[in-house]
């Protein structure tokens, strides 16, 4: 195991019981980043690379139905590009300390109003923790073995306007054909909102599909998601919980459906914000109606599959919401990696060229107490840590 830094002893002790144990080093344990600044971990059928910037996944390699290794996530070839990219689309990182949007960049805890950095829509709201949220910062690599890597961050009191210090560990592990993630965060000094996620952009064809540079051919199934969170024209929750009626454009629960299946339907206009055609929505994950469940075995909250490569992802998560973004905002300004693409086609991410799947809790629930998510999103000294777990199981059809 390679260790770069030691967190405060009290934080380590408090988080230890929730953190994934680091496996003993195997003979092929690496001792640092490669020439591109990336840390690799691998297991049977899967190989992944990560960078400290945002604790981000930069590459994920899976063999397709023809045995061709495909890199199925967006990112840059070199780690140094992430911090200088002017667009910063949150490529593969951990948004924090509060993912997604905060209405009016304000919230109230115990009668005290807090105002955080307003970094979106001209100051109307906060997105992914502010202008210097977690995925804009370099995490510390505290452990790295052949099949696991752990990052840490200490977020100071007052950073981006959030109250209290937060100490967090992000652990990524691979086992045969599976990527596991575990995020643990501890509020050490004051009550504060915490909601994290993994902001990975997927293209299961690695942009090599000769028929389309988009993910329109990707099939999505959200079997527990008959409802979604209602939003206004700038995607701020308006307090409503909406039904995803059977056969409607937002129905992915009654059966698998291609992401491009309903793009010509009049119903989908404004579905992802004013004038937007596509998806940028938070679906609820309703599993509890059948009684207690184990998220690891209950069944995936989402399945994404490509009919070109045959690659399929089954997403298992302990979270109660699932955001899907089909990249209607991409416009060809973001490059793809050197190991991706189809010869003769522009080497960029075009509109609808990717899909983001975010495991998380109800978005902006800190401004909707009627949803009763306080125990899931507000944490203080002496509370149990915030924990997010998920696993992505890969197969080939």
Q: Which residue out of 165, 358, 360, 389 is catalytically annotated?
A: 358
Catalytic residue among 144, 180, 199, 221: 199
Torsions phi, psi of 159, nearest 5?
-65, 130
Tell me which H or E stretch contains 70.
Answer: strand 69-71
Task: Tell me the H-state helices in the chain.
Answer: 9-16, 374-377
Within 8 A by CB and 6+ apart from 17, the residues are none
Beta bridge partners of 144: 149
Q: Is the dihedral of CA 377, 381, 382, 385 positive or negative?
A: positive
**Total Cβ atoms within 10 A of residue 1:** 13
Write phi, then psi, for 289 (nearest 5 degrees): -65, -20
Tell me the C-alpha distance between 33 and 42, whole Å: 14
Q: Is 389 a catalytic residue?
A: no
Distance, in Å, from the CA atom of 113 to the CA atom of 38, rounded to the nearest integer, reads: 41
Residues ≥6 apart with Cβ < 8 Å to 367: 102, 103, 104, 106, 107, 237
Q: Is residue 270 left, alpha or beta, with left meaning phi > 0 and alpha meaning psi from -120 to 50?
A: left
Is-catalytic flag, 221?
no
- Here the contacts of 334-339 (C-beta below 8 Å, separation 24 or greater) are 334/74, 334/87, 334/89, 335/76, 336/74, 336/207, 337/59, 337/71, 337/74, 337/75, 337/76, 337/77, 338/77, 339/59, 339/71, 339/206
Torsion of CA 129, 134, 135, 141, to 10 degrees: -170
Rounded to whole angstroms, the Cα distance separating 307 from 396 reads 10
d(CA 11, CA 17): 11
Q: Which residues are the active-site residues?
A: 199, 358
């Amino acid at each position: 195991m390679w260790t770069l830094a030691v967190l405060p002893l009290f934080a380590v002790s408090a988080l230890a019981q929730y953190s994934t144990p680091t496996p003993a080093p195997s003979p092929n344990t690496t001792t640092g980043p490669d020439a591109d600044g990336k840390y690799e971990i691998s297991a049977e059928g899967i190989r992944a690379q990560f960078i400290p910037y945002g604790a981000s996944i930069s590459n994920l390699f899976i063999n397709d139905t023809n045995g061709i290794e495909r890199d199925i996530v967006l990112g840059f070839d070199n780690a140094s590009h992430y911090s200088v990219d002017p667009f910063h689309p949150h490529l593969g990182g951990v948004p924090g300390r509060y993912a997604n949007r905060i209405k009016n960049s304000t919230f109230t805890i115990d009668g005290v109003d807090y105002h955080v950095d307003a970094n979106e829509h001209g100051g109307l709201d906060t997105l992914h923790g502010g202008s210097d949220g977690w995925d804009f910062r370099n995490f510390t690599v505290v452990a790295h073995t052949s099949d696991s890597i752990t990052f840490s961050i200490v977020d100071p009191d007052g950073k981006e306007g959030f109250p209290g210090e937060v100490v967090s560990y992000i652990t990524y592990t691979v086992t045969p054909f599976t990527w596991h993630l575990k995020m643990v965060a501890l509020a050490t000094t004051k009550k504060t909102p915490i909601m994290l996620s993994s902001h990975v952009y997927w293209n299961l064809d690695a942009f090599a599909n000769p028929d389309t540079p988009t993910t329109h051919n990707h099939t999505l199934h959200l079997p527990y998601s008959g409802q979604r969170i209602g939003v206004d024209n700038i995607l701020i929750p308006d307090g409503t919980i909406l039904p995803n009626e059977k056969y409607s454009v937002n129905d992915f629960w009654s059966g698998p459906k291609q992401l491009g299946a309903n793009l010509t339907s009049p119903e989908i206009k404004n579905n992802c914000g004013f004038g937007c055609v596509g998806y940028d929505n938070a679906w609820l994950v309703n599993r509890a109606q059948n009684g207690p469940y184990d998220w690891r075995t209950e069944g995936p909250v989402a399945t994404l599959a490509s009919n070109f490569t045959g690659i399929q992802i089954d997403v298992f998560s302990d979270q109660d919401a699932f955001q899907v973004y089909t990249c209607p905002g991409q416009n060809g300004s973001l490059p793809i990696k050197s190991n991706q693409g189809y010869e003769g086609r522009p080497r960029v991410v075009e509109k609808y060229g990717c899909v983001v799947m975010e495991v998380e809790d109800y978005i902006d629930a800190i401004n909707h107490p009627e949803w009763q998510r306080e125990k899931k999103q507000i944490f203080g000294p002496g509370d149990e840590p915030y924990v997010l777990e998920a696993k992505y199981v890969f197969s080939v059809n």
